A and B are shown apart, each in its own frame.
Chain A
Amino acid sequence: MTNSADAAGDHESYDLAVVGAGPAGLAAAASAAEHGVRVALLDGAPQPGGQFYRQPAAELRAERPQALHHHWSAFQHLLARLDAVRERVTLLSDHHVWSVTGGSGAFAVHALTGPDQRQARSLTARQVLFATGAHERQLPFPGWTLPGVVGAGGAQAMLKAGLVLPGRRVLVAGSGPLLLAVAASLTAAGATVPLVAEAAGYLGYARGARVLAANAGKLVEGAQHGATLLRHGVRLRPRTAVVAAHGTDRVEAVTLARLDAAWRPLSGTQWRVPCDAVAVGHGLVPQLELPLEFGCHTRRLPDGSAALVVDAAQRTTVPGVWAAGESTGVGGVQLAITEGELAGLAVAGQNTAPRSLLRRRSRQRAFADLMAARHAPGSGWTQWLDDATEVCRCEEVTARQVRDAVAELGAADQRTVKLLTRAGMGWCQARMCGPAVARLCGAPNADRHDDGAPTRPLSTPVPLGLLAECDTNAPSSEGAPR
């Protein structure tokens, strides 16, 4: 594939723009290009792979990057396939897409590139495929803004790319299958993990025995993490959460508590564990700002978050717009690759997808739904907040302020809370506080834009000077009326 940092001018044109070079985007680009489609593959990171296949920078010269990864050979295979069709795939790394506009066969993709994303780059494409992945769902607790409290996925990403750890003694907490992978990586990289606190129970898996049996690979993967943890003496505590982090300028200890089935902390079960970092996360939330701007329809996942509606060929509800991977529902790397594969084929006009691929997709989706249901945050977690807990990290809005807006000013959805308190108005545009605020105001759904969650016409900040220069003749969209 062509690695193009500075090629061509404003009027580059492609058959397909793939946004996101993670597993889904790579698979989509490869399968489309193998059938003659000319593809631009855009990603914000310096190297392809997405969050899952984040690699150490080349200058770090890692001989065994796979030591931090599962399914590494699948990644190598995807890269080799892309290399074989390199004349038809232009990889645009370090390109942060801030807007995609247009429709009916003429889309414009606007990106920022260069140091600190201060240069503009636009291209056009006849079709667009969103493989925008997911970010971590965070739920606040007292002390979660202390330095040293980091996202579980964040700790993983920093380790995979920069070969660094946030501390020596790293407690892992939250919910979801990612926690085991993170704990395994951290211990393998030399950290001590005193405990993995998983808020959900594990009994629920039993109800999905048939789905589990059909996804044996997932069990093996889990077992491998489990074996690593066992070897390092790491304990996994289900129905347990960090209910407070302590320290002044950085985290020094946490308080843990046992939870009931609804994630309510049980009184009298609290205990304190010293640590110098906490890696915390509560599953993943699809990253949908770009497709939502088109008015692509969403569906509700078992854990309450929203994902794009796609048909059997991975088409969204908007003509010419496709999606694959976590944006259609968080399901892990294998499902992402399967979906990317199918989407790429369909974009290339290959109307009869191999049955084996279709079967694999339904099996993997069933597994994803099971996991999402199992790890969906219980409603009781809000009980571990105190008045002073900052819910919105950017604007420093406390739980008390959010609750006052609900109780005294009548706010009943995320958007109204935002308007009344500024929660979600800051740099991250509610990516971090959104699910928590939705829960605190009793909104029916955490992440759906039409339930009052914010839309983000700019998916990344854009210097006004660059925005001012945006080609006014570029194709644009009226978007969906709302």
Chain B
Amino acid sequence: MTRGPLDLVRARPEPPFEFSFDGEQLTALPGQTVAAALWQSGRLAWRRTRVGDRPRGAFCGMGACYDCLVELDGVPNVRACLAPVRPGTRVRTQRGDGHDELR
């Protein structure tokens, strides 16, 4: 088995839990952000841009670039790199401005 970040810092995390991403059940570790949990599942993109409909995900990783905006439990434009993921959180790919409910 390859040595990973958890081994490096000798992490013994609390038990993992499930959350959903576009309807699919994924696993996260307690304390991770939405972006970290998605990276861990191998997903790098969770937004489609307003103008070009292109895929985007985390970029700056510290809340400055807003590229990682995502829909979280029905609320759009949440920074995935800051928001913690919790058991049962419903994460959906954000399309455009994310405000389809206002259209």
Contact = CB atoms under 8 A, between A and B. Distances in A.
Whether both chains belong to one complex is answered with yes
Contact of B30 (A59, A115, A146): A59
Nearest to B46: A147
B61 A151 contact: yes
Contacts of A161: 33, 36
A116 B4 contact: no
Interface in A108-140: 115-116, 135-136
Contacts of B12: 61, 63
A223 interface: no
Given A166-B44, A396-B51, A63 B32 contact: no
Instruction: Describe B's contact surface by its main secondary structure.
Output: loop
A56 B11 contact: yes
B58 A150 contact: yes
B102 interface: no
A100 interface: no
Contact of B29 (A60, A65, A249, A394): A60
Interface residues of B, number: 51
Contacts of B30: 57, 59-60
Interface string B56-75: 11111111111101001001
A163 B9 contact: yes
Given A147-B45, A161-B33, A250-B44, A63 B65 contact: no
B61 A158 contact: yes
B88 interface: no
A394 B11 contact: no
Contacts of B32: 57, 60, 162-164
A49 to B, nearest CB: 12
B67 A162 contact: no
Interface string B25-44: 00001111101110110001
A164 B44 contact: no
Contacts of B2: 190
B50 interface: yes
B23 interface: no
A149 B55 CA distance: 12
A189 B8 contact: yes
A59 B59 contact: no
Contact of B45 (A135, A155, A163, A250): A250
Contact of B11 (A63, A135, A165): A63
A337 interface: no
B24 interface: no
Contacts of A56: 9, 11, 31
A164 B56 contact: no
A426 interface: yes
A189 B3 CA distance: 7
Nearest to A158: B61
A164 B37 CA distance: 8
B99 interface: no
Nearest to A395: B51
Nearest to A96: B63
Interface string A37-69: 000000010100001000011111111110110
A297 interface: no
A156 to B, nearest CB: 8
Interface string A248-275: 0110000000000000000000000000
Interface stretch (A27-35, A85-93, A427-435): A427-435
Contacts of B40: 162, 164
Contacts of B5: 68, 159, 163-165, 189-190
Contacts of B9: 56, 62-65, 67-68, 163
B74 to A, nearest CB: 12
A140 to B, nearest CB: 12
20 contacts: A56-B9, A57-B30, A57-B32, A59-B14, A62-B9, A63-B10, A67-B9, A147-B55, A154-B60, A156-B61, A159-B5, A162-B35, A163-B36, A164-B37, A164-B39, A165-B4, A250-B44, A428-B66, A431-B65, A432-B59
Given A61-B11, A135-B60, 12 more contacts: A60-B32, A61-B12, A68-B8, A145-B54, A157-B61, A157-B81, A189-B3, A189-B4, A249-B45, A396-B54, A428-B66, A428-B67
